[in-house]
Chain A
Amino acid sequence: MGLELYLDLLSQPCRAVYIFAKKNGIPFELHTVELLKGQHLSDAFAQVNPLKKVPALKDGNFTLTESVAILLYLTRKYKVPDHWYPQDLQACARVDEYLAWQHTTLRRNCLRALWHKTMFPVFLGESVSPEMLAATLAELDVTLKILEDKFLQNKAYLSGSHISLADLVAITELMHPVGAGCQVFEGRPKLAAWRQRVEAAVGEDLFQEAHKVILKAKDFPPADPTIKQKLMPGVLAMIR
C-alpha cells in the first residue's frame, strides 16, 4: 500500500499538506475525513489517529500525525526541491523557527477568528458576545503584525528569497480568517504582496482548489442538532 493522506480541506494544516503533496507531484490516496459530519470521531479513524484529528498520514505500516511532522516527512522522503526545507543550517533554522512559533500564535488566532466570527453563528447557531469577538480579532491583529514585521520583514518570503514550508503553513492559516470575511491583507501591503507571490509560486489553480471549501464558510448550512451535540466538545477544546 502506498501513501495515504487523511484530510479535510476545511482544516488549515490539511490544506498545507494537500498543496505540498500536489505541488510536488507526490502520489497519494486521499481519504476525506469530513469534520463537520463528525467523521473524525468514528472508530475507524481512531485507528489511524487516536487523537481524532486531521491531518494524518499512513505510509505502509507507518502512521504519522501532526501537520509539521507530515510536511517534514514528505520533504525528506520524496526529495523535493531544497527551498521547501533548506539543507543550509541557518536557512533551515528560519523555517523551524516559524514552524515552532505558529502553533500557539497565528494558528490559534486564525482558528478562533473563523469560529467566533463565522462557524459559531452560521454553522452552530450560537451567538458570540461582541466583546469576545473583538478580543479575538484584536489578538489576531497583534499576531499579524508580528508575522509582517518580525518574520516577513522586507524579504520575498517568510524565511528568505524562496518559498518554504513556512509560507505554505502561514498562507493556509490566513485563509481561515479570510474565509470568515476578515480583512487580513487590508492595510498590510507587504503581507498582501507576499500572498500574491505565494499564490503564484504554488499555482493559482491548486491554490483555488485547496481553498474552495473555506472560502464558502459563510454559506455553510446550519448543523443539525445531533451533529452539533457530537462536535461541540471537540470544538470547544480546539479553540480554547
Chain B
Amino acid sequence: MGLELFLDLISQPSRAVYIFAKKNGIPFELRTVELLKGQHLSKEFFPVNSLQRVPTLKDGDFVLSESVAILIYLSCKYQTADHWYPSDLQARMRIHEYLGWHADCIYGTFGVSLWAQVLAPLIGVQVPEEKVKCNRTNVDKALQYLEDKFLGHKAFLTSQQVTLADLMALEELMQLVAVGYHLFEERPRLAAWRERVEAFLGIDLCQEAHGPILNVVEQAANKTLPEPSPEIHLIMLNRLFRIP
C-alpha cells in the first residue's frame, strides 16, 4: 500500500497537508475522515493507535500525525523543492521559530470564530459574548504581529520564497475568511502576501482545497452540514469549554 492521507478539508492543518502533497505532485490515496460524523473515532475509518486527529499519514506500516511532522516527512521523503523547507540552517530555523509562535498564538485562536458561529450552534451551544470579544482581541494582536514582525517587508513570512510556514499560516487565516472576517481590508501587506501565496500555489488548487471551508457558513444556514454524532458531541463540548 502506498501513501495514504487521512484528512478533512474543514480542518486547517489537513488543508496544509493536502495542498502540499498536490502542489508537489506526491501521489497519495485520499482518505476523507468526516470529523463532524465522528469518523476519526472509528477503527473502520482511521488507523489504529494513532492520535485520532486529522491530518494523519499512513505510509505502509508507518503512521504519523501532526501536520508539521507530516509536512517535514513529505518534504524529505519526496525531496520537494528546497524553498519549502530549506537545507540552509538559519533559513530552516526561521520556519521553526514561526511554527513555535504559530502553535502558541494562532493555532487554537483563529478557529474560535468558526466554533462560535457555526459549530457550537450545531450542538445547541452558545459561546459567551465576552469570550468571542476576547478572542477577537487576540486574533487582531496576532495578525498585527504576523504582518509587522514575521512578514515585515519580505515577500513571504520567513524568506523571499514560499515555505511551510506560509502554508500553515494561510490555512489558519482561511478559517477567519470563511466566517466573513474582513481581515485583509486594513492590512494591505498581508493581503498582498496572501495573493502571492495563492498565486504560487495556483488558483485552481486553492479553490479546490478551500471550497469546503468557504461553504461552511452557507451549509450551516441551509442545514446541510452533517448532524454531529453523539461521540463527537462530547468532544465538541470539551473543545468549547476550553475557549478562553
A residues neighboring B (CB under 8 Å): 50-51, 62, 64-69, 72-73, 76-77, 89-90, 92-94, 96-97, 99-101, 103-104, 135, 139, 146, 150, 240
Contact = CB atoms under 8 A, between A and B. Distances in A.
B51 to A, nearest CB: 6
A100 B93 contact: no
Contacts, number: 76
B89 A77 contact: yes
Given A93-B69, A97-B69, A150-B50, 17 more contacts: A50-B149, A66-B96, A66-B99, A68-B96, A89-B77, A93-B62, A93-B73, A94-B64, A97-B66, A99-B68, A99-B69, A100-B67, A100-B69, A100-B99, A101-B51, A103-B107, A104-B107
Given A93-B73, A101-B51, A103-B104, A69 B93 contact: yes
A64 B97 contact: yes
Nearest to A63: B97
A93 B103 contact: no
A69 B100 contact: yes
B232 to A, nearest CB: 17
A100 B73 contact: no
Interface in B31-57: 49-51
B66 A96 contact: yes
Contact of B65 (A50, A51, A97, A240): A97
A52 to B, nearest CB: 12
Interface residues of B, number: 32
B228 interface: no
B77 A72 contact: no
Q: Quick one: which of A77, A97, A104, A139 has the most chain B CB within 10 A?
A: A97
Q: What 3 A-B pairs have minimum CB-CB distances, sorted nearest first?
A: A66-B100, A69-B96, A103-B103
A65 B100 CA distance: 9
Nearest to B243: A240
A51 B141 CA distance: 12
B200 interface: no
Q: Quick one: which of B92, B100, B244 has the most chain A CB within 10 A?
A: B100
